[in-house]
Amino acid sequence: MWKPDREGAIPLYRQIADHLQEMIVHGEYPPGSPLPSERKLAELYGVNRSTVVLAYAELRSLGLVESRPGSKTQVSSSWTQADSRTPEWHRYAENGGFLPNLPFLRRIRDALALDGTIIDFASGKLSTDLSPIREINDIMHGCSYHPDNGSDVSQGFPPLREALADFLERYRGIRTTASSILITSGSQQSLYLISQCLLSPGDAIAVETPSFTRSLSMFQSAGLRIYPLPMDENGVRPEGIRKLYSRYRIKMLFVNPNFQNPTGTLLQADRRKLLLDTASELGLPIVEDDPLSLTAYNTDYPPPIKAEDASSSTLYIGSFSKIAAAGLRIGWIVAPKSVIARLADARRQMDMGFSVIPQQIAAAFIESPLFQPHMERLRGQLQLKLDTLVEALHRHMGGLVQFSVPQGGMHLWCKVVPEIHDGKFLDEALKRGVAFVPGSLYGAESGYMRLTYARPQVGQIEEGVIKLAEALRAVVE
């Protein structure tokens, strides 16, 4: 994102005026279109409002913008460059079948991009001290590049798929082969391929609620009808599947059974069995997203549904993004070979297969003696952060929030006791320098929030909770 250069010789207002002029000339702001308010532009560029006033005055003197009392500043309706007519790019950007991210997500993303000091309880990323930076760098030094390594590997780099087949059997109890694995750039691309290739506009799907998938506009962009499967402290309640199937003829189930996002719940064994039995009886495919199972604290890794699926009803999605080296962007789908062939063909049309280099690194990492020590350190540090967060919530927000402590993962799901408006609470929190994700983004009613504790440093957590408490009291009083 462009920012004025405070150390440069050109005055800040001139830099801003020149930047806006360039955007006008290139059609980002066509004739007659409104420009951001002085206040909003000052916040965006981190300058005083008077600096923006000078920048707009400069543009008015050039005849590029016009302002009327009580109305917004806009690009001059009479302005043209020579005799050419620039396409109205902002209108094109508002069109298209692929919907933009939800407003809450955009608000949080923009705030974090503009202010690097915000304490981040919103991002599902590991802090740098939890990432295997040294291990990955050591592996990178030993990797060699050959141009033929990346030829015709739309299903994924074969050595990585072989390594994943061993990894899934060893850590997840899933017996599969390299030919039944498709490499993706993460869970979100896996879900996109499934929604675009295996479902059709108008198809009905059942999704846990609250759920990460409720926040994905891609399902709506695909024209799917989304129906909720309720959850409680023991995970999704599968007894509702038959009713949804009977009433709406749902075509697919989407679940995240282990340390679910956003609630952190673990699906209990009896419910796993009922879910599988029901899906098998109805012939319904299950899409299982399982990014966090290996973060279990002081307990065995919970088994995936896929490992217990004798009828092959489950498409299994995994990723390294949440547990190791998010920058590598490595995810995967385990599915019947006919499904893999269909998804690989679509993937080839999209990008001809992504870089083989991060796939080489991922294959070397999971086969190396460095992986297990990293996971042990990660689990210990995540539990420390969770304990710190829970203690801070009890100390500073006791009586204001309710929650159950998860056994793994990186998300703490909180019910806010006082009645609040999600948007106002988020705005107050961002003003004070702390970010979280409102529960309504995941399909929950207003008054819930997800606190992700993997991103902040341990020393930031209590400070972040204090800021949250201040923000909550501000919207309640």
Distance CA 340, CA 344 (A): 6
List Cα–Cα distances, 461 to 113, 146, 393, 396, 433, in angstroms. 20, 45, 10, 12, 12
Tens digit of pLDDT per residue, the chain (477 long)? 788 888 888 888 899 999 998 888 887 888 888 898 888 888 888 888 888 988 988 888 888 888 876 678 888 877 665 545 556 666 677 677 777 777 788 888 888 877 789 999 999 888 988 988 888 998 888 777 666 655 557 899 999 999 999 999 999 999 999 999 999 988 999 999 999 999 999 999 999 999 987 667 888 888 999 999 999 999 999 999 999 999 999 999 999 999 999 999 999 999 999 999 999 999 999 999 999 999 999 778 899 999 998 778 899 999 988 888 777 889 999 999 999 999 999 988 887 767 888 899 999 999 999 999 999 999 999 999 999 999 999 999 999 999 999 999 999 999 999 999 998 999 999 999 999 999 998 988 889 999 999 999 999 999 999 999 999 999 986
Residue 238, beta-bridge partner list: none
Domains belonging to the chain, first-starting first, are: 12-94 (1.10.10.10), 103-130+373-476 (3.90.1150.10), 145-369 (3.40.640.10)
Residue 398, beta-bridge partner list: 401
Distance CA 66, CA 79 (A): 10
Distance CA 319, CA 211 (A): 17
Long-range contact pairs involving 89-94 (C-beta distance under 8 Å, separation at least 24) = 89/27, 89/28, 89/30, 90/28, 90/29, 90/30, 90/33
The H-or-E segment that residue 273 falls in is: helix 269-282
Q: Whole-prediction pTM value?
A: 0.82
Residue 334 sits at φ, ψ, to 5 deg, of: -110, 125
